[in-house]
Chains A and B, each alone.
Chain A
Amino acid sequence: MSTKDIIDTLAGIESGSALDGIRARRLQARENAQKSYLSLFEPIDASDFSLAERAAVAAFVVGLHGESPVAAFYREKLSASAGGAALWDAIKAEIAHGKTSGPYGAFPAGPLSVENAAGLIYRVSAAGKSVLGAKLAAALEHAHLLVFRPRDAASSDMKTLQAAGWSDTGIVTFSQLVAFLSFQVRVVTGLRVLGASFGRTTNAAAGA
């Protein structure tokens, strides 16, 4: 019925399995989740956001969600990208430095203010900044905000990214990449939990 895509690989879904059959009922969503992945990581134009930058941001974002086959996959993607292996140690340190629990942040001042929750305002370490450079360091700080406290986002964050060398088009693709990964890691986790409940063995996609 189908060929294995990235979500199948990461969730350990085998061709012909029950989950494969269920996913086939949402074929357009399945194919376009795959196209989203390909257009973010194998884009026709990477001039505003390089492949190594994409891989570095991805490894950071999924790493903040904890260890999983998804984290292993993007870590390997970074290591395999041009110049990426040199970035991994710095990204790894920043993941450890940025790990927390979300969502938190502030609502617009008013009745919802009682729900405001304070939390880590992550900033890249000095050591990280010297390895990653200003553009990638700004991206990591914004990615952390998107992962853990998206409701804190403000127009000034756009200016910060622009000042660090991000074009408007680069900001859109970068935001899509972080947001897409937030989707992908959840679909994979959800399908894995559901698959495990069937009592069937999922393909332990260690480094898949």
Chain B
Amino acid sequence: MSTANTVNPPVVFTQDELGWVSWIDPLPEPDLTERHFAGLVDRARAKSEYFRLLVRDPEVLEARTKTDKDIFYNVADGLPRAERELAAAATSRYNGCIYCASVHARFASTYSRRREDVQRLLDEGIKADLGERWNAVVKASVALAATPIAFGPNNIEELRRAGLDDAEIVDVINGASFFNWANRLMLSLGEPSK
């Protein structure tokens, strides 16, 4: 299935759009049943190799997708979308997921209009100085991603000093934690391609 000879893996973190190639067989599109479409949530995801791979377990994919969407897209209240995306990008940068970082760095740039700062996170890494508020979000995300988990009272204090309220801090925790899920799937079931 995997067209190994045509994969052109990126060797740096980038905000460019990347493809993703599965290492094991996704389900063929004609084999998808209504159970699978329920798992995909959006029918258009049947076009994606990644989602047709994960839909081998439709119930888990459906629950994962709905968790993801609410954590990132429900902006009725709480942390601005840009900073949820920053948490995702920082987590991905630290764990080393070039694909995930590319997608969420782009979103962070789009919603914050701070493309150059986002690029510095990608180029310089998690120590890049992005100002107090973003530094606090990046540092909290990185502390959560470490194993053993290094997130502690100091992270909460820094986020509060940077102006985040408790609900916004929960959005950081959810967004960063979710990318410890997403990174591990994207990194281990296939690879990015330029």
- Residues of chain A at the chain B interface (Cβ within 8 Å): 18-19, 22-23, 25-29, 31-33, 35-36, 38-40, 43-44, 64-66, 101-103, 105, 107-112, 115, 142, 145-148, 150-151, 153, 155, 157-158, 162, 168-169, 171-173, 175-176, 178-180, 182-187, 189-191, 193-194, 196-198
Given contacts A103-B95, A146-B184, A155-B23, contact A193 B152 (CB under 8 A): yes
Binary A-proximity of B148-192 (CB < 8 A = 1, otherwise 0): 110111011100000000110111011011101111110111010
Interface residue tally of chain B, by bracket? 35 or more
Report whether B173 and A150 are in contact in the complex, using a CB–CB cutoff of 8 Å: no
Interface SS, A side: helix
User: In the complex the two chains form, what is the Cα distance from A103 to B167 in whole Å?
Assistant: 28
Q: Which residue of A lies closest to B95 (CB)?
A: A103
* Across-interface contacts of B170 in A (CB, < 8 A): 19, 22-23, 26, 190-191, 194
* Across-interface contacts of B57 in A (CB, < 8 A): 39, 43, 169, 172-173, 176
Report whether B97 and A40 are in contact in the complex, using a CB–CB cutoff of 8 Å: no
Q: Shortest beta-carbon distance, B56 to chain A, in Å? A: 4
* Across-interface contacts of A157 in B (CB, < 8 A): 188
Report if B66 contacts A (CB, 8 A). Answer: yes
* Across-interface contacts of B94 in A (CB, < 8 A): 103
Q: Shortest beta-carbon distance, A121 to chain B, in Å? A: 15
Report if B53 contacts A (CB, 8 A). Answer: yes
Report whether A186 and B177 are in contact in the complex, using a CB–CB cutoff of 8 Å: yes
Report if B48 contacts A (CB, 8 A). Answer: no
Q: Which residue of B lies closest to A33 (CB)?
A: B67
Given contacts A103-B95, A115-B125, A168-B25, contact A150 B10 (CB under 8 A): no
* Across-interface contacts of A110 in B (CB, < 8 A): 11-12
